[in-house]
């Protein structure tokens, strides 16, 4: 197991969608640096919005992480899909952490929301992107579900603040008394979403009645 993992690191590293990740990373850092470059002193709500937007940009990049053009070739290999996906996440996680730290440092420090809490929000949206990608991989035969995940993530980002009940208070300002309880909820959300993502990881064992029927119709082996 350990040897397989070690052997896989190199190939997985090479097949990661680096261009999407780099594009999102650069754009995110540029966005975070806008106030510093422009010499503006934004209000706390503006910095909060800025950092949430930067987190969303990063998550859009992460949505492409599980894109694997070789997916149909690697389906029957002994190293399981969950392992390969976990390896991808594990390889990108330190970079993502570094990137987020840089974004936090670039954002105007005077009006920055509590770093731990905003990081938690960023983790949730990142994990949501990964779980969405895992779900898309699990439910469809699509080799590159990235665009769908990005669309889903954007839709969630636009609709969640509009439609989430006011009582949940997920999108509050730092001076709101509900800020800390809201972040307890964010933590719960992170765990739930991550668990859902992990559950989507394994390759389905039985081919499933529907898929088998589809394959028969297509003339392939059952």
C-alpha to C-alpha distance for 124 and 46, rounded to whole angstroms: 20
- Tell me the closest approach of the beta carbon of residue 204 to another protein, in angstroms: 22
Sketch the per residue contact string, 152 through 191, with another protein: x for CB under 8 A, - otherwise: xxxx-xxx--xx----------------------------
SS (H, E, C) 108-155: CCCCCCCHHHHHHHHHHHHHHHHHHHHHHHHHCCCCCCHHHHHHHHHH
Residue 49 interacts with another protein (CB under 8 A)?
A: yes
Tell me how far apart the alpha carbons of residues 25 and 81 are, in angstroms, rounded to a whole number: 26
Residue tagged 């895992």 (tokens) = 134
Binding mask 52-71 for another protein (x = CB under 8 A): -x--xx--xx--x-------
What string marks each residue from 9 to 28 as x (binds another protein by CB under 8 A) or -?
Answer: ----------xx--xx--x-
CB of 60 to another protein, least distance (A): 5
Decide: is 150 part of the binding site for another protein (CB under 8 A). yes
CB 131 within 8 A of CB 200: yes
The residue among 100 and 152 lying less far from another protein, judged by its C-beta, is 152
Could you tell me which of 130, 19, 9, 158 has the C-alpha nearest to residue 65? 130
| CA 136/CA 21 separation, integer angstroms | 19
Q: Which residues bind another protein (CB under 8 A)?
A: 19-20, 23-24, 27, 31, 46, 49-50, 53, 56-57, 60-61, 64, 144, 146-147, 150-155, 157-159, 162-163
């Amino acid at each position: 197991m350990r040897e397989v993992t070690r052997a896989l690191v190199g190939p997985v590293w090479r097949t990661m969608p680096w261009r999407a990740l780099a594009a999102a990373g650069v754009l995110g850092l540029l966005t975070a640096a806008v106030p510093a470059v422009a010499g503006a002193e934004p209000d706390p709500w503006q910095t909060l919005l800025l950092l949430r937007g930067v987190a969303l940009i990063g998550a859009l990049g992460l949505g492409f992480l599980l894109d694997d053009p070789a997916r149909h070739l690697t389906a029957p290999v002994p190293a399981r899909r969950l392992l390969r996906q976990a390896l991808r996440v594990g390889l990108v996680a330190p970079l993502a952490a570094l990137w987020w730290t840089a974004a936090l440092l670039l954002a105007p420090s005077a009006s920055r929301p509590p770093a731990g809490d905003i990081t938690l929000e960023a983790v949730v949206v990142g994990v949501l992107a990964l779980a969405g990608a895992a779900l898309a991989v699990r439910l469809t035969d699509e080799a590159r579900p990235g665009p769908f995940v990005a669309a889903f993530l954007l839709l969630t980002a636009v609709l969640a603040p509009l439609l989430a009940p006011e009582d949940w208070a997920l999108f509050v300002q730092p001076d709101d008394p509900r800020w800390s309880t809201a972040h307890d909820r964010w933590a719960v959300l992170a765990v739930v979403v991550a668990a859902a993502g992990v559950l989507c990881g394994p390759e389905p064992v039985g081919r499933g009645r529907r898929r088998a029927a589809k394959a028969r119709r297509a003339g392939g082996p059952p």
